[in-house]
C-alpha cells in the first residue's frame, strides 16, 4: 500500500498493555493516530470501523468486528503471538497481518534464570524467614531451614528449540549446566540431538518451557508427566499458561514430585482469585510473576520500534513479518 498523499487513520486498541515510558515514534507518512488504553470486546467493531491500520496487543479481532471495517488494510500485532486475530477472516478480506519477532531474546531467558536462581537457592524463603526474626532466633551466624543447591553440574531441560530456547540454553551452559532439548511428546525416539520426551522428564533437574500453545502442546505437562520426573526438577513456564495442567501442578508440589515452580503465565490472564496457581502463593517454593518475562525496558522499546517499522514497510508496499 503506497499512498504518499493519503491521510491514513491508525488505531491503537490497547496502549496500556505496554509500558507508559515506552517512546512511540510517529510513522513517516501522513496519518491520524487514535490511541485507546483499553478496548472492551463490545467496543472493537466500532473502534476499528474507520481504521486503515490497527495496532493490537491482546485485544481480539474476530470476523464479526472485521465485517464493518471496510477501510482496514493492515493489522500490526504488538506481540509475537497472533492468536487474538481471526487470520482466516483477514485473509478473506485481503487484510495484511504482521507480528513482532526477535525482540525478547535477552529479557525472557534472563527472567527464566531469575526464577531458577531464586528457587534453586531458596531466596524468597530465606528472605521471609529473616523478616520473621528467624535469624535472631537461630542464635548463630546462619541457619539452614531451606535447601540451597548449585546449578553447575545439573541438567537443564528445555522444551522448544527456537530463539528463546536456544538463548536459555546458552545461559545454562555458561553456568556449567548440561543442556538437553525435549523430543516430541508421545514419540519413543527423537531426532536432531533431542532427548525422547519421557527420558527428558526423568533426567532434567530444571525444566523450562519455550514452546507455543497449540492443540498438540496444550496440557503438555499433566499428572502422568509429573509422575515421570525422577529428579524432582524445578519447573519454569514463561511460555503459555495452557502448557501445564495447573491442578496437576498443585498436586505435584504437594506430593514433592517437583522441587519448585516458577510461572510467568497463567490460563486465563489475569488468573481468577480461585485459580490453582493463586492458591500456591504462600508456598516458599513457588513464584508467580504477572507475564512480565518479556517486559524489560529495552525489549518493550525494541517492540515499539518494530511495530512502527512494520507499519512503514506496509505503507511502502513491502510488508514484513506477515502471518497473513
Q: Which residues are catalytic?
A: 240, 269, 291
**Nearest by Cα to 152 from 174, 176, 121:** 176
* CA torsion, ordered 73, 76, 81, 85, to nearest 10 deg: -30
Give the residue carrying C-alpha cell 525422547.
196
Helix (H, G, I), strand (E, B) or coil at 307: helix
Q: How far is CA 148 from CA 134, 176, 197, 282, 286, in A?
A: 17, 17, 28, 19, 15
Residue 282's CB is within 10 A of a number of other CB atoms, namely 7
C-alpha cell recorded at residue 86: 481471526
Q: Which residues are registered as beta bridge partners of 33?
A: 10
> H or E element: which one contains 196?
none
Residue 51 near residue 10 (C-beta atoms within 8 A): yes
Tell me how long the chain is: 324
Gap between the Cα atoms of 8 and 65, Å rounded: 20
Query: Phi first, then psi: what are they for 98, rounded to 5°?
Result: -125, 145
Residue pointed to by grid coordinates 507518512: 29
Within 10 angstroms of residue 78's Cβ, the number of other Cβ atoms is 23
Cβ atoms of 314 and 74 within 8 Å: the answer is yes
CA separation for the pair 97, 310 (Å, rounded): 10
Question: For residue 265, what is its C-alpha cell?
Answer: 503465565
Cβ-proximal residues to 162 (8 Å cutoff; 6+ apart), any chain = 210, 211
Amino acid at each position: 500500500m503506497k499512498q504518499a498523499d493519503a491521510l491514513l487513520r491508525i488505531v491503537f486498541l490497547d496502549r496500556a498493555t505496554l509500558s507508559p515510558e515506552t517512546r512511540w515514534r510517529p510513522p513517516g507518512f501522513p496519518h491520524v493516530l487514535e490511541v485507546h488504553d483499553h478496548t472492551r470486546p463490545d467496543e472493537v467493531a466500532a473502534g476499528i470501523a474507520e481504521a486503515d491500520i490497527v495496532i493490537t496487543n491482546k485485544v481480539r479481532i474476530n470476523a464479526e468486528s472485521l465485517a464493518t471495517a471496510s477501510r482496514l488494510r493492515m493489522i500490526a500485532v504488538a506481540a509475537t503471538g497472533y492468536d487474538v486475530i481471526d487470520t482466516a477472516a483477514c485473509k478473506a478480506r485481503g487484510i495484511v497481518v504482521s507480528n513482532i519477532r526477535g525482540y525478547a531474546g535477552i529479557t525472557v531467558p534472563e527472567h527464566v534464570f531469575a526464577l531458577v536462581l531464586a528457587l534453586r537457592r531458596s531466596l524468597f524463603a530465606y528472605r521471609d524467614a529473616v523478616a520473621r526474626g528467624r535469624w535472631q532466633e537461630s542464635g548463630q551466624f546462619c541457619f539452614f531451614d531451606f535447601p540451597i543447591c548449585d546449578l553447575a553440574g545439573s541438567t537443564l531441560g528445555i522444551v522448544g528449540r527456537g530463539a528463546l530456547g536456544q538463548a536459555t540454553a546458552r545461559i545454562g551452559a555458561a553456568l556449567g549446566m548440561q543442556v538437553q532439548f525435549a523430543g516430541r511428546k508421545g514419540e519413543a525416539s527423537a531426532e536432531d540431538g533431542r532427548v525422547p520426551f519421557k527420558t527428558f522428564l526423568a533426567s532434567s533437574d530444571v525444566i523450562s518451557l519455550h514452546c507455543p500453545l497449540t492443540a498438540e502442546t496444550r496440557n503438555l505437562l499433566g499428572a502422568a508427566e509429573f509422575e515421570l520426573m525422577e529428579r524432582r526438577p524445578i519447573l519454569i513456564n514463561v511460555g503459555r499458561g495452557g502448557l501445564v495442567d495447573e491442578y496437576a501442578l498443585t498436586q505435584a508440589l504437594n506430593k514433592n514430585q517437583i522441587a519448585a515452580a516458577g510461572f510467568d503465565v497463567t490460563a486465563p490472564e489475569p488468573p481468577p482469585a480461585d485459580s490453582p496457581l493463586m492458591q500456591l502463593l504462600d508456598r516458599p517454593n513457588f513464584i508467580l510473576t504477572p507475564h512480565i518475562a518479556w517486559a524489560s525496558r529495552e525489549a518493550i522499546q525494541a517492540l515499539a520500534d518494530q511495530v512502527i517499522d512494520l507499519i512503514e514497510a506496509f505503507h511502502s508496499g513491502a510488508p514484513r513479518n506477515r502471518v497473513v
